[in-house]
Structure 1
C-alpha cells in the first residue's frame, strides 16, 4: 500500500486562503463618498449660519445613500469594504450632521438641555447603525427595526428647513427651541425602538403596479415640487409615526409586534425570528 509523499499530506491539500482584493469598486463608493460630502457640507453650512443649505445637504445625502446600495446590487459590485464605508458615511451624514446643525440653529441657547438632546440623537444614531449591522440576515427585510437613520435625519432637517423657510427664528420664538428639542429627542429615541418601519425593499421597478399607485406617485411629486419644505416635513412625519401604528396593529391582531434580534443562536430567541 503506497503512502502519500510528504509533500501531499492532507494539510497541504486544503485550498489556500484567497488573497484580499487590491482594488476597490469605484461606482458604489463614489455614491457613498458623495453622501458623506452632503453631511460634511451640512456641518460647514451650519457653522456659517446658512441653515437652509445645511438642511438641503442632509436631504441630498439621504438620496445618494439610497442609491449606493442599489447601484452596487445592479452592477454586482457589492463588497465588505463598501458596507463598512456606508455605515461610517451614515454616521456622519445622519448622526453627527443633523445633531450639530440643529444644535447650532435652535438648541445652543438652551444650555445643557440643548447639547444633551443633540448628544442623545447622535448616540442613538450610532446605536441604531451598530444594531442594524449585527442584525443583517436575522430580521424580516421588509421592515426596519426602529426608525432608519436617514429618515430620522430627514425629520430633524425637514422641521428646521420648514421653520427657516417660514422666516421663524428661535431667538424670536422661544417655543421653537423647545419644539426642536422635542423633535430631536423623538427622532433619536425612535431610532432605537423595536417598532417595525416598512423598508420598501420588496418594491421593484420591474413589477407591474396598479394604475392608481402611478397616479398617487404623480400627485406626490407635484406636492413636493409645489412646496418642498412642507411636503418633505409632512412625509417624514407620517413615516416616523408609521412604525408605532404598525406596532399597534400587530398588537391588536395578537401577533408578535416588535422586531427584537441580536442573533439566532441564543436559546431564549428560539422562534423569535419567524
Structure 2
C-alpha cells in the first residue's frame, strides 16, 4: 500500500520556487534549526553560570537533533539540504555545545589542559560524524554490520562527556584535581568517538516487538521517564555509567556475530568481505 506522502523531487534550475515547496519539507529543517538554537543557548547559559538550565538545553538540542531525521523519513521529506543541515547541527549540538558547557563548568580550573581536552572532544565529534556520513554511503558493507556503529555515536558521546557535570550537581566536590581528572575523562570519551569499537545501535531490534513484551516495555519506558523527571541528575549519571558497562558487551556480541558470518561464508564457499568496523 503506497504511503500517504509522495517523495518530493526538486526540479528546475536552482531548485524549486518557494511557493512550490510543500510545507512538510520545512518541518524537519525547522526542528534542526531549533536544535541549533537550543545548543547555542546552552553555551550562553553556561557562561552566565546557569549550568543546570544550560545542560538541559544541550540535552534538548540532542533530543531534537535525534528526531528530525526520523520525522523527515516519516513525512518523506528527506532532502540533500536537510542532510547537510543535520550534519552541521550535529557538530554544534554534540561536539561544540557539550565541550564548552563542560569547560565553563569545570575544565577551566585545569587551565590550558582543560581547554585542550574540550577542543579534542569537539574535533573528535566532527571526525566521528564525517566518518559516519562516509560509512552510511558504503553499500558494500555486510547487512548485519548496519546494526553496529563504528565508535561511540556522537549523541551518546555528548551525554557521556557531561558525566562530571551530573556528578557535580549531585554533590561531587569540584576542585582543581577534579578538573584534571575530568579533562582526562573528556579525552577518553573523545577517543571512544573516533575509535573503531563496534557499538550496537539497536536499529533493527525495535522494528518488531513480541506481543508479551509490549506492556513491560511501555511500563519500563514510563518508569525511566519518571525517574528522569524526578531524579534527573542521578538518573543521567546511572545511565552514563550503564552505557560504559554496555560497551564490552557490544564488542563481544559483534565478535560473535563476525565469527558466525565468517563460518557461514566458509560453509557456502563464498568470499569473506573485510571487516570495516574493527580493522
The two structures have a TM-score, normalised by structure 2, of 0.77
Residue 61 of structure 2 corresponds to: 61
Deviations 1:199-241 (A, max 9, x none): 2322547744514333332332232233011112221332244
Summarize the Cα distance change of 1:69–1:114 in structure 2 as closer, same or farther, 3 Å threshold.
Answer: same
Match of 2:258 among 231, 255, 258: 255
Higher normalized helix content (fraction of residues): 2
Q: Displacement of 1:148 after TM fit?
A: 1.1
Which runs of 5 or more residues in structure 2 are unaligned? 1-9, 261-271
> Structure 1: which 5+ runs fail to align?
1-16, 258-268
1:141: which partner in 2?
146
Structure 2 equivalent of residue 188 of structure 1: 190
What is aligned with 2:102?
Answer: 102
Aligned 8 A contact 1:121 1:188 in 2: yes
Aligned residue among 158, 165, 179 for 1:160: 165
User: 1:241–1:128: structure 2 CA closer, same or farther, 3 Å change rule?
Assistant: farther
> TM-score, normalization: structure 1?
0.79
The CA deviation string for residues 92-122 of structure 1, in whole angstroms up to 9 with x for no partner, is 1111111111112211121221111111101
Deviations 1:102-149 (A, max 9, x none): 112211121221111111101100100100111104353322111111
Distance in 2, matches of 1:180 and 1:92, equals 21
1:150 CA displacement: 1.2
Q: How large is the RMSD of aligned CA atoms in angstroms?
A: 2.7
Q: 1:62 to 1:188 in 2, by over 3 A?
A: same
Question: Shift in Å at residue 175 of structure 1?
Answer: 3.1
CA distance in 2, matches of 1:22, 1:183: 49
Q: 1:154 deviation in Å? A: 1.0
Tell me whether 63-72 or 22-31 shows the greater mean CA deviation: 22-31
